[in-house]
């Protein structure tokens, strides 16, 4: 896929993740508590369908190289005023979040009509402008006219997956399945915490005052239906490659078994979080997010497994070098670690009342992603430039001077070896890992993709990369200034390593101040 399309696809994915994070975790919306429950549920379903549609089209383009090449070619056509569509798309995304400035998490249901208007209007504008950003309307028409049959078929199936899940659900509502899920969850919890309260008559499992009802819809039924629908789409797309008999007789049952096992783990984790961490986090954060997260991981894992096992293919061929090509691709090296950083941050926020406590897990995930793409990163022209070093130290000093009063980040319960491990992970992650990840993405990818090389175009590219960088930090003004400095440092000699050195030196100055003062809210 062309780099421009890869950038747009990555941006769309990050926007979807951000919307889910804000409206499902940070400011959880319960449709039943609003005055427009039906409209709220319909809008939530629209987001699910959009994600399902994007996944289906992505699988189709992956499976059909000719279709993918024509798509990339059509999207590369030069049109006048192409900048209008990304601008309108950005305005639409901002409109989605703008109503949140007028409400708080506690009052979001009372003023949900304003939030709904922003979500609906902004979402429609962002979607239409995003499609026209990918390619002009005429190119969409020509592409669909030639390949419309297969494309529209997959799109319809993808859009109907949520409905298929609801339609097939009664077929899976078997008492043995519900009872098996209930018993397996209770058994798993007893391995971790002996004092588990189990009431089979009421179908409740509780621990330390927090209990859940394992109803029929909690038995894994929805996961079974969703996985079946997703595998059906995959089987249709790859019908000329996979052996259908082996796929449905082996892969499908194994997928259902894994789906059931992950559902048991999900319910057990929900109870543990509610009992030992936070009931609110369990109900409004983990419960609303974990199901789709587990399904996504499982679906991608099953597809990867099928692709890797020649026994499931009609024409088994030796394993190629796709993995090696991917891990050595420069674009992948700049994008993948950032995606891992974002997703791991969401998971930590989902699993910990005090997200800072889970930072070592996030640092480990980031380190693993960087290790995976280490070859292209090691090929960077690494130098410790004095100007970059001084610029970074200056940014760190300004960050500390403009910092507000410190706050409690929730690590007070850590002591001894646990605290030492957390401090080491925080310093290494903040001072060494994060600068590589963020500079590779914001300066190495975003800036270089937008930069025409001269004049106002370059200034706009610098501003855009700094603006995106600022949007992901708690102090956007200071972060925006830092992003501008890092961009200018990189453009000075044309070396990404200079931006990384500047960012790392800034973060290490801040980490040093946090270590000396004990105020870890600084980072």
Contact 246, 311 (CB under 8 A): yes
With a cut of 70, say whether residue 251 has pLDDT above it.
yes
d(CA 83, CA 523): 36
Residues 351-394 have pLDDT tens digits of 666 778 888 989 999 999 999 889 999 999 898 899 999 999 99
Task: Mention every residue, 6+ apart, whose C-beta is less than 8 A from residue 385.
Answer: 489, 493, 495, 497, 498, 501
| Phi and psi at residue 173, to the nearest 5° | -75, 70
Q: pTM for the full model?
A: 0.52
Give just the sign of the alpha carbon dihedral 274, 275, 277, 278: positive
pLDDT at residue number 330: 84
Among 386, 399, 396, 380, residue whose Cα is nearest residue 439: 380
Radius of gyration for the alpha carbons in the chain, expressed in angstroms and rounded: 24
What is the helix, strand, coil percentage profile of the chain, to 5?
Answer: 80, 5, 20
Residues 76-99 have pLDDT tens digits of 766 656 778 889 999 999 988 888
Task: Mention every residue, 6+ apart, whose C-beta is less than 8 A from residue 388.
Answer: 489, 498, 499, 501, 502, 505
Domain boundaries, the chain: 1-157, 173-319, 330-522
Contact 173, 216 (CB under 8 A): yes
| Phi and psi at residue 81, to the nearest 5° | 55, 45
Long-range contacts from 169-173, C-beta under 8 angstroms, 24+ separation: 169/217, 169/221, 169/222, 169/225, 172/219, 172/221, 172/224, 172/225, 173/216, 173/219, 173/221
Residue given tokens 């200071």 in the structure block: 478
d(CA 47, CA 449): 28
Give just the sign of the alpha carbon dihedral 68, 70, 71, 73: positive
User: 230-234, 268-272, 398-402 — which one is most confidently predicted on average?
Assistant: 398-402
With a cut of 60, say whether residue 39 has pLDDT above it.
yes
pLDDT at residue number 80: 59
User: 110-114, 127-131, 139-143, 269-273 — which one is most confidently predicted on average?
Assistant: 127-131
Two structure tokens written together for 261: 């096992």
pLDDT at residue number 471: 75
d(CA 523, CA 511): 7
d(CA 486, CA 479): 10
3-class secondary-structure state, position 205:
strand
């Amino acid at each position: 896929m062309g780099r421009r399309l890869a950038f747009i696809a990555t941006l769309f994915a990050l926007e979807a993740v951000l919307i889910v994070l804000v409206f499902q975790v940070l400011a959880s919306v319960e449709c039943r508590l609003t005055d427009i429950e039906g409209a709220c549920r319909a809008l939530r379903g629209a987001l699910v369908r959009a994600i399902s549609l994007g996944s289906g089209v992505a699988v189709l383009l992956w499976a059909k190289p000719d279709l993918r090449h024509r798509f990339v070619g059509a999207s590369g056509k030069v049109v006048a005023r192409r900048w209008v569509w990304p601008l309108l798309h950005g305005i639409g995304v901002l409109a989605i979040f703008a109503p949140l400035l007028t409400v708080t998490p506690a009052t979001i249901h009372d003023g949900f009509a304003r939030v709904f208007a922003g979500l609906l209007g902004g979402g429609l504008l962002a979607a239409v402008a995003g499609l026209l950003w990918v390619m002009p309307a005429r190119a969409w028409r020509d592409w669909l006219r030639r390949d419309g049959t297969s494309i529209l078929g997959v799109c319809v199936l993808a859009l109907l997956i949520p409905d298929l899940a609801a339609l097939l659900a009664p077929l899976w509502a078997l008492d043995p399945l519900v009872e098996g899920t209930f018993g397996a969850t209770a058994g798993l919890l007893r391995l971790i915490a002996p004092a588990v309260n189990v009431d089979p008559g009421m179908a409740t499992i509780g621990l330390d005052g927090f209990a859940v009802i394992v109803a029929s819809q909690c038995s894994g039924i929805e996961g079974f239906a969703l996985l079946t629908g997703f595998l059906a789409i995959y089987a249709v797309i790859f019908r000329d490659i996979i052996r259908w008999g082996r796929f449905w007789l082996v892969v499908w049952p194994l997928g259902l078994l894994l789906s059931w096992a992950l559902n048991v783990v999900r319910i057990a984790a929900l109870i543990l979080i509610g009992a030992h961490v936070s009931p609110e986090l369990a109900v409004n954060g983990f419960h609303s997010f974990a199901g789709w997260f587990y399904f996504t991981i499982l679906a991608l894992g099953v597809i990867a497994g099928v692709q890797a096992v020649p026994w499931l293919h009609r024409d088994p061929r030796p394993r190629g070098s796709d993995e090696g090509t991917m891990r050595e691709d420069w674009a992948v090296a700049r994008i993948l670690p950032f995606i891992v950083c974002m997703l791991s941050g969401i998971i930590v926020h989902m699993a910990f009342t005090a997200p800072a406590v889970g930072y070592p897990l996030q640092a480990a995930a980031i380190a693993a992603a960087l290790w995976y793409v280490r070859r292209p990163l090691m090929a960077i022209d690494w130098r410790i430039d004095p100007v970059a070093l001084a610029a970074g130290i200056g940014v760190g000093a300004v960050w500390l001077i403009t910092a507000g009063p410190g706050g409690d980040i929730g690590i007070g319960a850590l002591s001894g070896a646990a605290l030492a491990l957390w401090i080491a992970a925080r310093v290494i992650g903040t001072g060494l890992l994060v600068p590589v990840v963020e500079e590779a993405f914001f300066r190495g990818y975003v800036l270089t993709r937008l930069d025409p090389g001269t004049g106002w175009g370059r200034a706009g590219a610098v501003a855009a990369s700094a603006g995106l960088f600022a949007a992901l930090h708690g102090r956007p003004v200071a972060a925006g200034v830092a992003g501008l400095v890092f961009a200018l440092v990189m453009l000075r000699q044309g070396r990404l390593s200079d931006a990384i050195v500047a960012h790392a030196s800034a973060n290490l100055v801040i980490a040093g101040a946090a270590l000396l003062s004990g105020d870890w809210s600084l980072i």
